[in-house]
Amino acid sequence: MYWTGLEIFWWIGPIVVFVAIPILDAVVGQDGENVPDAEYERLSNDRFYRWCTYLFLPILLAGLLVSSYLWAGTELSVLNKIGLAVTVGIVSGIGINAAHELGHRAEKHERWLAKVALAQSGYGHFFVEHNRGHHVRVATPADPASSRYGESLWRFLPRSISGGFRSAWRLEAERLKRKGKSPFTVHNDVLQAWSMSAVLFGTLIAVFGLPIVPYLLLQAVIAFSMLETVNYVEHYGLLREKLPNGRYERTAPRHSWNSDRLVTNVFLFHLQRHSDHHANPGRRYQTLRSSDEAPQLPAGYATMVVYAMIPPLWRAIMDPRVLAHYDGDITRVNTGVVHDSPVLAEAK
């Protein structure tokens, strides 16, 4: 930015994500390639893909460090500092996606790295809520991260943010209670993750001073708002069927919206193949598959996020698709009506 003299480049994050990537998605088109069964094990164990997520972390933290230096200085105007904070927040949101991939792994060091990746956004409780809450309750009225038919993004965000926070704390407190421990312990995964944020932010403030605080907070809000907006897109209106025994059916590809745009797949570690991720959460991102059973979004995530910010446009595009997915039967759609169910009771 210094070398070009073009101040608009401080806003490069939203320009790339919400302008360049949607255009490239439209031009390049679909991915369309699934991993052959014969290659699945080899690709799943290929460490190159693991290092792609590992190396994102130092890049993420280095960017925050340089940005803090610039926020503390006088070279940039307030408007340009805000632009930089928005850009950093969008990168941090992608960092949450890396944390999402790492947090699903059984390897202890990868789960620890997931908490590190979440430190910049201050959203460490996502580590608990996503794995033990969202994946259990997805596409049911009890899941705060599953958006409901007719619900706008702006109504969804406060519900999902607050609901995810409460759920994560409850789930972790109950896990520790079963082990005879208080929730206020170093073994609490939520407190561990929040402590990493406190140490990171505290260190940056100690080094660069209080003037960076508004920008640190702004980039964090942008990051976790991006995450929750993607949640909104991924599950809008979809509902798992309730079985005669009171439980919800097993999660299948038809319970998440899918998009197989090649460019966004590369940027988001194949997050857009979300249907397969929920049906097979143990699969590493490079082996996720696109399923014919999954309902398809009309565009990539970057484009759909823009649509979601404009509720009338979103509903005009998505409501007919939700109804078509359920053959026009509104009773099969997630409208937010909660019914008692053993599987939900277990998740509480």
Residue 338's pLDDT is: 59
324/328 Cα distance (integer angstroms): 5
Residue 251, token pair as written in the block:
């999660």
Beta bridge partners of 30: 261
Cβ(274)–Cβ(287) below 8 Å? no
Residue 1 in any domain: the answer is no
Please check whether residue 18 lies inside any domain of the structure: yes
243 occurs within a structural domain? yes
Residue 231 lies inside a defined structural domain of this protein: yes
Among 174, 91, 99, smallest CA distance to 130 is for 99
* Helix, coil or strand: residue 181: coil
Q: Which domain holds residue 246?
A: 7-347
Grouping H, G, I as helix, E, B as strand and the rest as coil, residue 62 is helix
pLDDT tens across the length of the chain (348 residues): 454 567 888 999 999 999 999 999 989 988 878 888 888 899 999 999 899 899 999 999 999 999 999 999 999 999 999 999 999 999 999 989 889 989 998 888 999 999 999 999 999 999 999 999 999 999 999 999 999 999 999 999 999 999 999 999 999 999 999 999 999 999 999 999 999 999 999 999 999 999 999 999 999 999 999 999 999 999 999 999 999 988 999 999 999 999 888 888 887 888 888 888 998 888 999 899 888 889 999 999 999 999 999 999 999 999 999 999 999 999 999 998 754 444 443 433
pLDDT at residue 347, as a whole number: 39
* Residue 261 β-bridge partners: 30
Alpha-carbon distance of 9 to 23, in angstroms, equals 18
Residue 284 lies in a domain: yes
Cα 107–113–119 angle (5° rounding)? 150
Q: How far apart are CA 300 and CA 260, in angstroms?
A: 7
Please say whether the beta carbons of 80 and 13 come within 8 A. no
pTM of structure: 0.91
- Is the distance from CB of 99 to CB of 196 less than 8 angstroms? no
In a domain, 144, yes or no: yes
Number of domains in the chain: 1
Q: Is residue 2 part of a domain?
A: no
CB 136 within 8 A of CB 129: no
Q: Decide if 89 is inside a domain.
A: yes
Look at residues 300, 320, 139 and name the one whose alpha carbon lies nearest to residue 235. 139
